[in-house]
Amino acid sequence: MSSKQPLRLHVPEPKARPGESPDFSDIVIPPVGSLRRPPSDEPDHSMREHAFGMIRVLDENGVAVGEWDPKLPPETLIKGLRAMLLTRIYDERMMRVQRQGKTSFYMKCTGEEAVAVAQALALDDGDMLFPSYRQQGLLIARDWSLVDMMCQVYNNTKDRLKGRQLPIMYSVKEAGFFSISGNLGTQFPQAVGWAMASALKGDTRIAASWVGDGTTAEADFHYALTFATVYQAPVILNVVNNQWAISSFQGFAGGEQTTFAARAVGYGLPGLRVDGNDFLAVYAATQWAAERARSNNGPTLIEFYTYRAAPHSTSDDPSAYRPEEESARWPLGDPINRLKQHLIAIGIWDEEKHTALAAELDEFVRAAQKEAESYGTLGVKPASAASMFEDVFKEVPQHLIRQRQELGV
């Protein structure tokens, strides 16, 4: 008689679906300050707890706690708040212009602003960024022109990408911001390659790259970790775990059985799991990984634990697959509110200042929008379609010249 039992396939299920009440009961949130801050040359095997715990600095009262507090000067804190707020207002406005038909598509990063903004501020200006489509905060924190970003969104005459790219697929070489690809994850190993080149040349600049939780399933993610660890490349590899990949919760990327930071363990590099809605924790973890890379101690994988409060994109309706109230009930709160609370707690901020800042930024975005729209919006395109035959190759080849003539432009 066989004692073998029939096999069963496990298909992950999120805790709650539409109509059910949000359930975050399986999320363990360690107390702030519970993890030590090791020296940046600590061997990865002696800091395993960082891949499974969570680096958190800001407590529920807005007080910075523990070894990971980066102890930032007020200017940096206010700069961070400002950039996060600006990112949110910019997103709102661009979402609205999409609804008005002035462009075809948009993606917000609402709820995840701390990740890109704090990281941009923790890195040096010369460091090279290989983002996904949800790190617009990097450009904003690097003070890149909002008008320029909008012109890309509008595909207008001042769009430096010549109307070729989907809105938000920015490319800003001048700001060290690599051209965004629509194909998920491709930038991750490319960042490693850039970092390898920097090391080969004895440069001092490091690279950083971002993917979402869902994207960690792509082979490119694993290429990146392999190459990064083999060559000890000076790179920071970030996973923005916002719980969702369109309609698929992070369990479909393997998040049910372990953490994304723990992916690092198997590859032999340090993995940090960080409260992604905690500006100070994001800053501190990035600073640590940057120090490590700069001092030739190799790459770091960081998982930022956060929540995609917005729909995936303007083409998405999350109420079809997750409870509507889920984002409001997210246990790690809102990154802007949390930093604001901290600034108030340390006595450099108040509600009045905050309201004034929001109004100022709103005006700033409106003015930028006005200027950008003066150069056209999608479909209202005084630019010549002839440019679409350029840049396929460095020189426009004969057959494309002929095709351009055939089009009559």
Partner 1 sequence: MDIMLERDSNTVVFGEDVGYFGGVFRCTAGLQKKYGTHRVFDSPIAEGGILATAVGMGVYGLRPVVEIQFADYIYPAFDQLVSEAARLRYRSGGEFWAPITVRSPCGGGIFGGQTHSQSPEAIFTHVCGLKTVIPSNPYDAKGLLIAAIEDDDPVVFFEPKRIYNGPFEGYHDRPLVPWSKHDLGEVPEGYYRIDLGKANIVRAGSEVTVLAYGTMVHVALAGVAEAGVDAEVIDLRSLAPLDIDCIVASVKKTGRCVIVHEATRTGGFGAELSAQVQENCFMHLEAQIVRVAGWDTPYPHAFEWEYFPGPERVKRAIMTVMENWGDRGLDGTRQRARPTAHSRQPGLQLKGSNNGTLRIQAAGRGRRHRRERDRRMAGQGRRCGQGRPAAGRHAHRQGLGGDFLAGVRQDHRAVRQCRRHGRRRRTAGDPRSRGRRYAGGR
Binds 200: which of Mg ion, ligand TPP, partner 1, none (CB < 5-8 Å by kind): none
Range in contact with Mg ion (rule: CB under 5 A) among 36-44, 206-214, 262-270, 295-303: 206-214
Would you give the distance in Å from CA 81 to the centre of its chain? 16
375 makes contact with partner 1 (CB under 8 A): no
Binds 104: which of partner 1, ligand TPP, Mg ion, none (CB < 5-8 Å by kind): partner 1
Residues in 235-254 that interact with Mg ion by CB under 5 A: 242, 245
**Residue whose CB is less far from partner 1, 223 or 364:** 223
Whole-number minimum distance, CB 215 to ligand TPP, in Å?
3
Range in contact with ligand TPP (rule: CB under 6 A) among 18-26, 135-143, 182-190, 353-361: 182-190
Binding to partner 1 by CB under 8 A, coded x per residue (else -) over 8-47, reads: -x-xxx---x------------------------------
**Residue whose CB is less far from ligand TPP, 245 or 343:** 245
Convert 361-400 into a string of H (helix), E (strand) and C (coil). Answer: HHHHHHHHHHHHHHCCECCECCCCHHHHHCCCCCCCCHHH
Range in contact with partner 1 (rule: CB under 8 A) among 45-53, 258-266, 350-358, 384-392: 384-392
Of 309, 348, 313, residue with least CA distance to 329: 309
* Number of other CB atoms surrounding residue 258 within 10 Å: 13
Figure out which of the listed residues 68, 178, 244, 252 binds ligand TPP, where binding follows CB under 6 A: 244
Distance from C-alpha of 136 to C-alpha of 133, rounded to nearest angstrom? 7
Distance from C-alpha of 409 to C-alpha of 403, rounded to nearest angstrom? 9
212 makes contact with Mg ion (CB under 5 A): yes
Contacts of 60 (CB under 8 A, 6+ apart): none
**How many residues in the shown chain lie near partner 1 by CB under 8 A?**
53
DSSP 255-293: TTTS-STTHHHHHTS-EEEEETT-HHHHHHHHHHHHHHH
Phi, psi of 127 (to 5 degrees): -65, 145
**Residue whose CB is less far from partner 1, 295 or 405:** 405
184 makes contact with ligand TPP (CB under 6 A): yes
DSSP 58-99: B-TTS-B-STT-----HHHHHHHHHHHHHHHHHHHHHHHHHH
Would you give the distance in Å from CA 382 to the centre of its chain? 33
Binds 134: which of partner 1, Mg ion, ligand TPP, none (CB < 5-8 Å by kind): ligand TPP
Range in contact with partner 1 (rule: CB under 8 A) among 51-59, 82-90, 211-219, 338-346: 211-219
Binding to ligand TPP by CB under 6 A, coded x per residue (else -) over 301-340, reads: -------x---x----------------------------
Distance from C-alpha of 353 to C-alpha of 52, rounded to nearest angstrom? 38
248 makes contact with partner 1 (CB under 8 A): yes
Distance from C-alpha of 370 to C-alpha of 224, rounded to nearest angstrom? 41
On whether the CB atoms of residues 168 and 389 are closer than 8 A, the answer is no
Phi, psi of 150 (to 5 degrees): -65, -40
Whole-number minimum distance, CB 301 to ligand TPP, in Å?
15
Range in contact with partner 1 (rule: CB under 8 A) among 74-82, 228-236, 242-250, 291-299: 242-250
What's the one-letter identity of residue 288? W
212 makes contact with ligand TPP (CB under 6 A): yes
Any bridge partners for residue 212, and if so which? 240
DSSP code at position 179: P
Helix (H, G, I), strand (E, B) or coil at 195: helix
Residue written as tokens 């509008």?
A: 154
108 makes contact with ligand TPP (CB under 6 A): no
Residues in contact with partner 1 by the rule CB under 8 A: 9, 11-13, 17, 104-105, 155, 159, 162-167, 169, 181-184, 214-215, 217-220, 245-248, 252-254, 315, 320-321, 378-379, 381, 383, 385, 388-389, 392, 399-400, 402-403, 405-409
What residues line the site for ligand TPP (CB under 6 A)? 134, 182-184, 211-215, 240, 242, 244-246, 308, 312
Applying CB under 5 A, the residues found at the interface with Mg ion are: 212-214, 242, 245
